[in-house]
Amino acid sequence: MENFDRIFSDSLSIQQRLVQENPEKLRPWLEAGVPKSRGLLLYGPRGVGKTTYLLRQAQRTGGFYASLDHPSLAGVSVYSLVEYGIARGYESFYLDEVQYSPTWSQELKGLYDSFPPVNLIASGSSSLLLAQGVGDLSRRFLGVAVPFLSFREFLSLRGLGDFPVLDPWKPDPSQIKIMLTSLPVFRHFEEYLTYGLRPLFLEGVEQYPTKILQTLQKTLTFDIPFLVDSLGANHLRLMQAVVGLLSRSSIPRIQVNSLCREWGVGKEKLYNLLYAMEQTGVLRILRKKHDFAAQSIGAKMFLADPSSYKALGGRVGNLREAYVACAFSSLGYEVWAATKDEDADFVVDSGLGPGEQFSRTVEVGGLGKSPKKADFVVRDGQDYPQPGVIPLWVLGMAW
């Protein structure tokens, strides 16, 4: 018991310090997009605001916050820690980096069932681990995927205006006019693509590229090992090489055979690494519809965070396509690579959600880009929407 007294006391001290350092502004999506539930699992890439949200909620509710990747909590039972807190009057618990506890899903399930009044909100960086937990806890916990920051949120966090969400397919012309006449939209959108996809810019714009690369390195070093066995230094360098190749390649694909030969790894290992990079928010792999192969590199492969291209000096064409795929995915649509490259870049499906069901083809490019045979063309540099034309910046106002 004395040991838990110390552990709990140390955790409270850490929580108090982190609350003091927590940014004053919370991204709008987290204010409005996280539903109320007694059991929540937040998952998504590192640096998108999950920890900020947990600390803010702990402060608001008088709850207990702990990050399970802290050395003082290594080997500590989540169940026992929360049970100890309940005995001291806490009713809400915010558990960050929950994947660092090997039995987290079983322990959360036990806590949820044993203490009905208690609120349990957990988060983590590995979407695969947390998605598996959502499956295990589906009747108890609600899984919430936290997306990258939208252009609308970027403007709000910088104090440049609180604008409404726009439907990218049918945006409100009056709102478009207000924005274009009140703001240098294109300058701010360029800033957003450079340092605005994660709220890390609130800590300093100049440090953003460095922080992005550090976040990427931390994901490869600390998150991937949860998903891939026997990960060595050679595999880490291989993943770094994949990131570099995709940032500068004119064709967003990799050559499996040549990579395997160059790095001395088998195909199965490479596929496992790519899958883990996809699940941890490093890569976005787009497959063609009906491509259900267990081992597939897809038809197109992008860095999941479009601002990574800026940090790595990547190609603008890849950045545009990566951003369009990121935006539509953030809206809950299913995004596929088009069946024929000569017809379009992407197929965007409404998925299984409520409302209108549709499947639309999309082409992506600069101001003079032809739609080819696509239903819509997304153009970088376009100011006002036109029939069949979506300005790239308007897509950033959609969530």
- Could you read off the pLDDT of 330-353 as tens digits, one per residue? 999 999 999 999 999 999 999 765
Beta pairing class for 359-365 and 376-379: parallel
- Pull the structure tokens for residue 28: 């709008």
Distance CA 371, CA 359 (A): 16
Tens place of pLDDT for every residue, the chain, 399 residues?
558 889 999 999 999 999 999 988 889 999 888 998 999 999 999 999 999 999 999 999 999 999 999 999 998 999 999 999 999 999 999 999 999 998 999 999 999 999 999 999 999 987 777 777 777 787 889 989 999 999 999 999 999 999 999 999 999 999 999 999 999 999 999 999 999 999 999 989 999 999 999 999 999 999 999 889 889 999 999 999 999 999 988 888 899 999 999 999 999 999 999 999 999 999 999 999 888 776 778 899 999 999 999 999 999 999 999 999 999 999 999 999 999 999 999 999 997 655 678 999 999 999 999 999 999 999 999 999 999 999 999 999 999
pLDDT for 133: 76
**Residue 112 token pair:** 């949820």
Predicted model pTM? 0.92
Domains and CATH numbers, the chain: 2-145 (3.40.50.300)
CB 71 within 8 A of CB 140: no
- Specify the pLDDT at position 292: 74
Residues 6+ apart with CB under 8 A from 272: 227, 228
Query: Rounded CA gap, 345 and 213, in Å?
Result: 28
Tell me, what's the pLDDT at 138?
A: 76
The confidence score (pLDDT) of residue 353 equals 58
Helix 267-279 / helix 256-263 crossing angle, nearest 10 deg: 110
Of the candidates 249, 255, 303, the one whose C-alpha atom is nearest the C-alpha of residue 280 is 303
